[in-house]
Each structure stands twice: as structure tokens, then as C-alpha cells.
Amino acid sequence: MPRKTKDALTDTRIRKAKIKDKQYKLFDGQGLIVLVHPNGSKYFRWRYYIEGREKLLSLGVYPVISLSTAREERLIAEQLLKQGYDPVEHYRKERAKIKARIAEEKRIRENPFRKIAEDWISQQPWSVKHIMDVKSSLRIYAYPMFGEEPIAEISKDTVRSLLLGIHAQGKTNTAHRVQQRLSRVFKFAMDRDLCDRNYASELESLVPAAKSENMKHIPREELADYLRRLDANEINIHRVTWIAIKIMINTFVRTGELRFAEWSEFDLDEALWRIPGEHTKLRREHLVPLSSQVISLLHELKNFSGHCRFAFPGQQNQDRPLRDHALIEGGIYRMGYKGKAHIHGFRSLADTILNESNQWNPDAIERQLGHMERNPVRAAYNRALYLDERKRMMQWWSDHLDALKVSANDRQSKVQMWEGGNVY
């Protein structure tokens, strides 16, 4: 049982306690003692018994902990003991909780939104161009508002304010894209227990995407005449740009894949264009079978750029690729489709016509469009299984475009005959 003493301790007695060669105890009563160490340190301890065993509870170091505070702590420990708790175990668990809370607060501080976003981006299978686009949108819109704020402490109101602010500027699609990217960053953080809620996902309906016009294409009923006029080069497009547009229509690759194409990517003997992963949206190699028409165009192109690194070099600087605007200007604007169609529309047009022909496996079409197959096993299977079909499909597509052009030429000839009065 705790030793009782007639003379309770005082601050003066503790302060003036002599240092001895061995540790000794000063008794305050009710089990409260002061251990005086040979080095002069003095420690408050409370001695108690539980299940017949003596235990000591550390209450602190004198004078950091005063005598009155130590007595208060002893009273609290006595209450815990009366309630059936072992004070040593209770405080050990409390210290563990405090330590865990401090560690969690440190972890939260060390994971600001910017860091999590950059970690997320670094793990995506995107092209360099798309990575720069995502980084730019976050740098312009998200980072100024909460880039350095711990992601776990970003509030729903903060995310809402950001999205509505972008939307209020009339940037509907930008607001939608930022919302999508924020949502993916928050999900990335949730998967790693760095935050509890995905507020961006919860606010998806706040900024719906505007109806996209990016993929508007030339009307199918006008495609034949478009091809006729392009083939005749009625608007006198620079020859390299003209060949680039023709090849883009025949292969329906993305503009970035076309513009950055290097001669080393083409195997004209094998009739195959191997676009490296760094030039594709999905950061993986994309195979493009080449029709006989495309091979003929590439042979002609070599007369202009065979000595260059890029197959489609810029007109002003051949060490740089053809500008994106050159394709848009030559293939859309000067052909009379400014505001009516987009250069990327040829991809959706090819997608529609190939599927409606009912001659090709939809998976082969998807693979040729370079769309993502999320199942890696199925992706490898599709690549091996459909390459031969894709070769036939790409030749069919070029032949189909030629047939449309011929029909348009026939119609144009008849119109000219009627206008010239040569019909009998």
C-alpha cells in the first residue's frame, strides 16, 4: 500500500534536496514520491498497486511539473484506478494517440495539393503534349487558390468557388475540364488515404461540359466535293501541307502524331508507320498500316523533306515540325469550313463510315483510332489479332476516298458540260 507520511513535501524541500551517490526518494503521501537522481534530476512518480502488483506512474520532471500539478495528476490517476483502469496503460495509450495525431498532422502538412497533383500526373500514360495541357490548367486555375494547402484540408466551398469562378468568365468547357482533373487528383489522394472526400467529384453537376464542337466534321454529303477540290489544290496550298492533309485524312491519325512524324518512323517496304509512344496521346506505340495511296504520297514528300528529320517540316524552319495552324488553315479555313468543321473531325468521320460499312470488326476500328483498351491482356490480344484486318481496312478506306473523289469529278464534269452547252 502507498506509504503515508506526516510531513508532506514542499517546493522548498524538493528544491533543496541534496544530491547523493545513489538515487533516493522523497515521500509526499498517498503514493506520490520524488526520485532524486545522482545527477541532480528530480522525477515525480506515483506508486500504486493493481492486482497485487506494485507499479509506478511517471508524472513529470521537477520543476517543469510543479508539486501542485503533480498532486492534481495523482488525483486524476487515482480516479482512473477506482474506475478499473490501469493508469500506466491508460496514459501509454493516450500518448500513442497523441503521437499518432502529431504524425498524421505532419503527414497532412507534407501532402499539399500541388505535390499530390504532380505525383498523379507522373503516373499517367499520356503524351508530352497532354501532360503539359493538364499541368498548365492546374497551374493557372488550381494552384493559385490551394496549391500549397494540404489536400485533406481543402473544403468543398473552396473547390466550388474555384469552379464557379472559372465558369463565370464564360469558360464553360475549361471549368468542366478543371473539375474532371481535380476529381482525379482527389481520387488519387483518397486511394492513398491522404484525404477523406472527393469534393470535386461531388460538384460534377455544377459545371457540365458545353456541347462540344471540337469534333464537328465536314458533312458526309459534302465530303466527295471536298476531296475533289483538295485533290485539285484549288486554293494553292503549299505542297508539304497539302500532302500532310491528304495523309491525315487517309490515316485519320491525330494532328500531333502527324506533325511530329519523323522519317525513321516509316517503313515503306513493310507499308507500316510506327508512331512512338512519346508522340501518342496514350504514350504507347501506335501502328498505322499504309495504303498504296499513302505510300505514293510519302514518296512524293521525300522530294521535299527527305533530307529533314521531320517528314512534315515547317515552311519557315525545317528543323521544326509543321505548325498545327497550317493544317487548320489549309484543310479547313481556306476550304470554306471555318466555324463549320474541325481538322480533328476527319477522325470521327472515318470512325462513322468504317463502322457503318459493316465490313470491319469494331475492335479493329477502335485500335486503329488509337483509343484506349483498359484491359492490358485484351489490348495485347487485339493488337496481334487485328493488324492484318487493319491493313485491309486502311486500304479500303483510301479506296473509298478515291471513289468519292471520282464520283465528284464526274458530277463536276457534267456540270461543266451543261454550263458550256455541250449536251445534245
Percent of the chain clearing pLDDT 90 (strictly above): 48
Cell numbers for 97: 494517440
Phi, psi (degrees; rounded to nearest 5) at 357: -70, -20
Assigned CATH topology for domain 11-107: Double Stranded RNA Binding Domain (3.30.160)
410/400 Cα distance (integer angstroms): 15
Please name the amino acid found at residue 131: I
**Bridge partner list, 287:** 274
* Residue among 371, 378, 411, 414 flagged as catalytic: 371
**Is it the case that residue 302 has pLDDT exceeding 70?**
yes
* Residue among 184, 347, 367, 405 flagged as catalytic: 347
Q: How confident is the model at residue 246 (pLDDT cuts 50, 70, 90)?
A: very high
Name the average pLDDT for the chain. Answer: 86
Cell numbers for 411: 458530277
Would you list the domain boundaries of the chain? 11-107, 113-206, 220-419
* Residue among 167, 344, 390, 405 flagged as catalytic: 344
* Residue among 106, 338, 381, 411 flagged as catalytic: 381
272/291 Cα distance (integer angstroms): 9
Specify whether 92 is catalytic.
no
Assess whether the region 11-107 and the region 220-419 belong to the same CATH fold.
Answer: no
Q: How confident is the model at residue 423 (pLDDT cuts 50, 70, 90)?
A: very low
Q: What's residue 93's pLDDT? A: 86
DSSP 3-state of 147: coil
Q: How confident is the model at residue 92 (pLDDT cuts 50, 70, 90)?
A: confident
User: What is the pTM assigned to this prediction?
Assistant: 0.52
Specify whether 97 is catalytic.
no
What b-and-e string marks burial along 342-358, b requiring 16 or more CB atoms within 10 Å of the CB? bbbbbbbbbbeebeeee
- Class of the 113-206 domain? mainly alpha
Q: How confident is the model at residue 240 (pLDDT cuts 50, 70, 90)?
A: very high
Specify whether 62 is catalytic.
no
Specify whether 381 is catalytic.
yes
Centroid of chain to Cα 220? 36
* Residue among 42, 47, 181, 281 flagged as catalytic: 281
Q: What's residue 375's pLDDT? A: 54
Residues 6 or more apart whose CB falls under 8 angstroms from that of 165 comprise: none
Among the four given CATH numbers 1.10.10.60, 2.40.170.20, 1.10.443.10, 3.40.50.2300, the one describing domain 220-419: 1.10.443.10
Residues 6 or more apart whose CB falls under 8 angstroms from that of 13 comprise: 26
Q: How confident is the model at residue 424 (pLDDT cuts 50, 70, 90)?
A: very low
* Residue among 47, 184, 246, 254 flagged as catalytic: 254
Range in 11-15, 40-44, 419-423 with the lowest mean pLDDT: 419-423
Residue 285 backbone class (left: φ over 0; alpha: ψ -120 to 50; beta: rest): beta
Q: 424 vs 172, which has greater pLDDT? A: 172
Specify whether 344 is catalytic.
yes
Q: What's residue 45's pLDDT? A: 94
DSSP 3-state of 289: strand
Sheet holding 32-36, edge to edge: 24-29, 32-36, 42-50, 53-62
Range in 206-215, 262-271, 289-298 with the lowest mean pLDDT: 206-215
**Is it the case that residue 214 has pLDDT exceeding 50?**
no
Q: How confident is the model at residue 388 (pLDDT cuts 50, 70, 90)?
A: very high
Range in 75-79, 103-107, 195-199 with the lowest mean pLDDT: 103-107
